[in-house]
Structure 1
Amino acid sequence: MSSVLPSFAAIQRRQRVHAAVRELLAEQGFRISMDAVAARAGCSKQTLYAQFGSKQALLRSMIDEHLDLTTVRLEDGPGTGNDVRGTLLAFAMEHLAHLCDPSVVATSQLLTAEAHQFPEEAKALYRDGCERLTERLARWLASAMERGLLKQDDPHLAAELLLSMITGLDFERQRFAVPHRRSLAARRRWAEFAVDGFLRAFPPAIGMAAAAADAPSKPQEFQI
């Protein structure tokens, strides 16, 4: 029992710290400090440095948490059921739900406005977030291509194309304070349109397509 409690306490502390970072990024942008995070999370600055080492490592830890949630459907590979469409739809819905979160919208607007003042921090945030998300998706697509579930092509370019299709113009709508896809129904409709368009561009090999057509269909369920 005693060995479990410290781990549980550490998890709770990490969650509080991550929540504090998300809140402060929306309020302060790149000016966020370790002092502010410690005060918001209810811990000491020494504790933050002991656990994370630096502000950049703390930001990377928070981004890792988001990436794990967004890409959880991709972790097991294309799967024995060959349900490429279902997996990509689930991924798209998770990604769109994150992009439409009000705190994420506020953070994106503030960080975009400040990027020219903090170029190194902005580049690091892009590398830790966008580039790593693209890399995870590219690995999954490469595996699907190797198995004949998708047409062979450059998986990194395909990943960037799919992410662009999923995002659409919502970033631009958010940036200019224009209504975007807030509702679950609107996000699902767009996710299906984007994923189906992507799959038409990267159809599976003929044999795999025939096998998928003969397989019993299952209703799609989205959990976000």
Structure 2
Amino acid sequence: MASPLDIQDDTLTERQQAVLDAVLALMVEQGGELTMNAVARRASCSKESLYKWFGDREGLLTATVRWQASKVRAGNYDRTRLDALALRDSLIRFAVNWLGVISSPTSIALNRVAIAQSGGGARTPGEGASLGAIMLANGRFAIGARLKPVLDAGREAGLIVFDDTETAFRSFIGLVGRDVQIRLLLGDTLNLTPAEIESDAARATDQFLTLYGTGNPLPERSKINA
């Protein structure tokens, strides 16, 4: 199997991005019964191109999950000059991106398929990794790898304090996500507007900074939103 493209290095062409968007659209419409033939038809490309770019179906799913997860990033910051304002802004930007992604129809479809497959019993030899395993490795764990350096930088700057980065990461994600993702997966018709997502992200970030802060005053919202 050829190695799937590493979209963290921004190596995908626009054509390849369009293919991954086609995969996401198909999963929203059809669930997990995804074939290379269906993707080729939807994306108007040959199966040979799919195999060349992504290796096989597992490689295609891996690249798709990475493509979706790549939309979640923290704000830009200078690690050597990190202050409370920059830390708060970076965390809010991450939270806004993450909430926007997990509440999208594509992410809901991916998660529903992964959950359904996880209850299907053991996979046969040579069948490849389940979508759930792919999503853990290239979704949740990859997203954690992007946020944890921000948390570590905040600790190094004396802005927040914690013993374990993973625990701090889970706390932040829990405050941001609350019960949104599970409600959406269960069919609740939440319609989060950009303004609501921004407000939720800011509130969760302030709660996190209160929980893990060092006692220094938080930056004023008026200055942040100016």
| TM-score, structure 1 normalization | 0.79
* Root-mean-square deviation (Å): 2.7
Amino acid at match of 1:33: T
Change (3 A) 1:97 1:183: same
Task: Report the Cα offset of residue 217 of structure 1.
Answer: 6.7
Distance across 2 between alignment mates of 1:141 and 1:100: 24
Task: Report the Cα offset of residue 78 of structure 1.
Answer: 4.6
**Map of 1:59 onto structure 2:** 61
**Map of 2:182 onto structure 1:** 172
Picking from 204, 216, 224, the partner of 1:219 is 224
- Once the two structures are aligned, what percentage of the paired residues are identical? 25
Task: Report the Cα offset of residue 105 of structure 1.
Answer: 2.5
Picking from 102, 105, 109, the partner of 2:112 is 109
Confirm or deny that 1:147 pairs with 2:157: yes
Task: Report the Cα offset of residue 113 of structure 1.
Answer: 2.9
Given that residues 96 and 197 in structure 2 are in contact (C-alpha distance below 8 angstroms), is that contact kept between their aligned partners in structure 1? yes
Task: Report the Cα offset of residue 179 of structure 1.
Answer: 3.4
For structure 2, the residue ranges without an aligned partner over 5 or more in a row are 1-11, 123-128
Change (3 A) 1:69 1:77: farther
Distance across 2 between alignment mates of 1:23 and 1:118: 27
Given that residues 70 and 94 in structure 1 are in contact (C-alpha distance below 8 angstroms), is that contact kept between their aligned partners in structure 2? yes
Distance across 2 between alignment mates of 1:21 and 1:79: 40
Distance across 1 between alignment mates of 2:32 and 2:80: 40
How many residues end up aligned between the 2 structures? 206
**Map of 1:6 onto structure 2:** none
Deviations 1:60-79 (A, max 9, x none): 222333333211525x5557
| TM-score, structure 2 normalization | 0.78
Change (3 A) 1:191 1:58: same
Picking from 97, 102, 109, the partner of 2:100 is 97
Task: Report the Cα offset of residue 107 of structure 1.
Answer: 3.6
Given that residues 63 and 128 in structure 1 are in contact (C-alpha distance below 8 angstroms), is that contact kept between their aligned partners in structure 2? yes
Task: Report the Cα offset of residue 216 of structure 1.
Answer: 11
Deviations 1:97-141 (A, max 9, x none): 112223333343343233312764122222211111112211221
Instruction: Identify the structure with the greater helix proportion.
Output: 1
Given that residues 77 and 143 in structure 1 are in contact (C-alpha distance below 8 angstroms), is that contact kept between their aligned partners in structure 2? no
Distance across 2 between alignment mates of 1:106 and 1:152: 35
Task: Report the Cα offset of residue 166 of structure 1.
Answer: 0.9
For structure 1, the residue ranges without an aligned partner over 5 or more in a row are 1-9
Structure 1 segments, 4+ long, off by >4 Å, are 76-79
Deviations 1:54-94 (A, max 9, x none): 222222222333333211525x5557352111111111111
Distance across 2 between alignment mates of 1:40 and 1:91: 32
Given that residues 96 and 198 in structure 2 are in contact (C-alpha distance below 8 angstroms), is that contact kept between their aligned partners in structure 1? yes
Given that residues 160 and 212 in structure 2 are in contact (C-alpha distance below 8 angstroms), is that contact kept between their aligned partners in structure 1? yes
The alignment partner of 1:63 has SS state of helix
**Map of 2:13 onto structure 1:** 11
Given that residues 29 and 111 in structure 1 are in contact (C-alpha distance below 8 angstroms), is that contact kept between their aligned partners in structure 2? no
Deviations 1:157-214 (A, max 9, x none): 111221121111012211222232512232222212211111111114x6xx37x76x
